[in-house]
Amino acid sequence: ITKLELTCKFLDLARTRATQATPEGGDGFDFLPLVSVVTQHLESRFLHGNDIHAVVAGIPAVSRPEVLRTYYLALATLNRHDLLSGVGFSKPQLASALFGAARAGRVQLLAVFGGQGNVEEYVEELVTLFRTYEGVVEPFIHQAALTLAHHSALPQAQDEHATMIDLMSWLEKPETRPGTEQLLSTHLSLPLIGVTQLACYYVTFKVLGVDPATMAQFFAAGTTGHSQGVVSAVAIASSQTEEEFFANAQKAIVLLFWLGLRAERACRKAVVDPNILQDSLANNEGVPTPMLAVQGIRHSELQKHVDSTNSFLPEDRRVHLSLVNGPRSAVFSGPPQSLYGLNNSLRKLKASGQDQSRVPYSERKVRFSSRFLPVAVPFHSGYLKDVPAQLEQDIIRHNLNFDAEKIAICVYNTYTGEDIRKRPDVTSSLVEQICLLPVYWEKATNAKGLTHVLDFGPGGASGVGFFTSRNKEGTGVQVVLAATIDDVPSEMLNKSSLFDQDPHSVKFAPNWSEQVRVLVNRFRPRLIRMANTDQIHVETPFSRLLGKPPIMVPGMTPCTVQEPFVAAVVNAGFHIELAGGGQHTEEHLRNRVKKIMDLVAPGEGITLNILFLNPRLWGFQYPAVKAMRKEGIPMEGVCVAAGVPSLDVANE
């Protein structure tokens, strides 16, 4: 256990005593000064003026949530009793290096919100978020719980057999929580995912100490959402005050609840044939559902198989392209049995772990994966064509319209990539994007000047940030998983980078075009004037290394076997390789080297081109070169030709 963890355990003990009644019937107020002192000690001893998220990044990932929970609960306790003076958290922050750079215009941030289908246990993210940041996020979660409890209990919802949502009980008492299959019901998963990502965003601006208007302005590149996430994007972009944020968040959650309920009515759950289920599980494709993700195949190749599958299906059973997540990543919607047929067709292409090292590249099978997503409804397809009309009454009844004029930053349409504010009927546009229109994620995240993408979940390293990072590879765009404090793949950053106050913590992803520019500038030929002769020469790394013109004569049998030709090239001032293919014995090689040295000026050296493909020649020529160097013969280089040594041989 680290010293920070030990300090937090003591702080939690003091805070618990301060919030509980004593055995004698009194209160625990006597412990409040201790809570204040320990909190100040923690900040001065461990934080050193930085944010606690940056500090916990240095302890084991499993311990981070509990340290954060203890710290923020202590601050909340002190705040309730007006004892925050002297504690670092009481001062306005925005010392975040990343958001400071955004305010100064040095970085361009894009906020993204994910959708369904990343993980089955999506509720665990909300549970972890609530437990970790209870001292910060409790008011927001409590309001969301009241909202969902009210709407799920309405007669219109109960007529559709909606689950009564008791969010606070589900968070605090795991035994009351519905099972995984029930939680995947669309009228539960849509709003609860919305609560999770909006709560994460709420925690972020509360910890930063800024209001929603300031927070939104940090995202100069705008915001968008993957599938249902676009609703959360509109909610945060429409909020100027904390009161407005609460109102817009509840509006978003309610819209998602009713959308999920109406979508479920439009597409009742299909019963999957046991044989199909068994076959899909045996091929690691998951339980058949109305949405299938395929990664690793180009769209042009995929479309052939989709067209072939659809040619055998009636109009109302066909497969639809629903999401294009990247150049080799797509999701299809349709009846589970139809998607199973597509999977069967794709299996013929799959390598399935076969050793293809000796198969010509053009004939190799494709390495790709296909899996059914844990969703209950075929979103982004014609199968939900009746939902927008059904939802109109819900939108009017519950006042779920968003005002385009109140959206302060750009929100990108997931189908066209355009600013959603171009349409006055924002809510109708959101419903169409989720229910009917395919998602073209690269269009939606193609903001000009973008440097950082902040993914507010859900899904962590498996969520929308993952394939966004893949899409942006080499462009210099850094993806930050803003919803997790866990360790993440090296190409991405976790939540700690949002709050770190060290200017050096602002990381940028590699930009291949910039790297090429630097390399080109470093290695490009230059014209130089010689100081002693006043002549102009071409200078390259090659010429700097060898002190000769940047033109060489490579080793080749029989051209560079004989000593007169090799010596003539050397005497002309150029680099040449002696061809080892014509030196059949060590004695022959040594004699050839001696004759060349007799024909060239003192100070010149010889480079030998050795055929690695010929074990006999390599077996004596390479040791002979090392031996001649020890003897003082100027063997200045070796070219390993006709074959590439393995790493082990190269190390030898």
Summarised one tens digit per residue, pLDDT across range 155-196 is 999 999 999 999 999 999 999 999 999 999 999 999 999 999
Say if residues 113 and 197 touch (Cβ distance below 8 Å): yes
Q: Is the pLDDT of residue 649 over 80?
A: no
Given strand 320-326, what is the order of strands in its sheet? 369-372, 291-295, 329-333, 320-326, 439-440
Q: Which residues pair with 640 in a beta bridge?
A: 610
User: Residues 131, 136, 137, CA angle at the centre, nearest 5°?
Assistant: 65
- For residues 388-409, average pLDDT: 96
- For residues 57-85, average pLDDT: 92
- For residues 619-648, average pLDDT: 86
What is the C-alpha to C-alpha distance for residues 460 and 465, in angstroms, rounded to an integer?
8
Q: Is the pLDDT of residue 481 over 90?
A: yes
What is the C-alpha to C-alpha distance for residues 438 and 440, in angstroms, rounded to an integer?
6
What is the C-alpha to C-alpha distance for residues 444 and 89, in angstroms, rounded to an integer?
36
Look at residues 144, 138, 131 and name the one whose alpha carbon lies nearest to residue 191. 144
- For residues 450-475, average pLDDT: 96
- Full DSSP string of 162-231: PPPP-HHHHHH-GGGSPPHHHHTSHHHHHHHHHHHHHHHHHHHHHHHT--HHHHHHT-TT-EEESTTHHH
- For residues 231-257, average pLDDT: 98
Residue 617 — pLDDT band, cuts 50, 70, 90?
Answer: confident
Residue 109 — pLDDT band, cuts 50, 70, 90?
Answer: very high
Quote the pLDDT of residue 582. Answer: 83
Residue 89: CA atoms inside 13 Å, Cβ hemisphere, count?
A: 25
Copy the structure tokens of residue 280.
């899909």
Proportion of the chain in helix, strand, coil states, percent, rounded to 5: 50, 10, 35
Of 44-58, 171-185, 404-418, 600-614, the one with minimum mean pLDDT is 600-614
Quote the pLDDT of residue 90. Answer: 46
Q: Is the pLDDT of residue 224 over 90?
A: yes
Token pair 């009194």 in the structure block, residue: 26
Quote the pLDDT of residue 519. Answer: 86
Quote the pLDDT of residue 453. Answer: 98
Summarised one tens digit per residue, pLDDT across range 486-526 is 999 999 999 999 999 999 999 999 999 999 888 888 888 88
Summarised one tens digit per residue, pLDDT across range 316-343 is 999 999 999 999 999 999 999 999 999 9
Three-state DSSP class for residue 448? coil
Say if residues 431 and 384 touch (Cβ distance below 8 Å): no
Quote the pLDDT of residue 299. Answer: 85
Quote the pLDDT of residue 92. Answer: 47
Quote the pLDDT of residue 616. Answer: 86
Q: What is the mean pLDDT of the chain?
A: 91
Summarised one tens digit per residue, pLDDT across range 277-298 is 999 999 989 999 999 999 999 8
Residue 23 — pLDDT band, cuts 50, 70, 90?
Answer: low
Summarised one tens digit per residue, pLDDT across range 541-570 is 888 888 888 888 988 888 888 889 989 999
What is the C-alpha to C-alpha distance for residues 198 and 225, in angstroms, rounded to an integer?
12
- For residues 246-269, average pLDDT: 96
Q: Supply the angle between the helices 299-310 and 336-347 in degrees, to the nearest 10.
A: 120
Q: Is the pLDDT of residue 45 over 50?
A: yes
Say if residues 471 and 450 touch (Cβ distance below 8 Å): no
Three-state DSSP class for residue 283? coil
Q: Which carries the bigger pLDDT value, residue 584 or residue 472?
A: 472
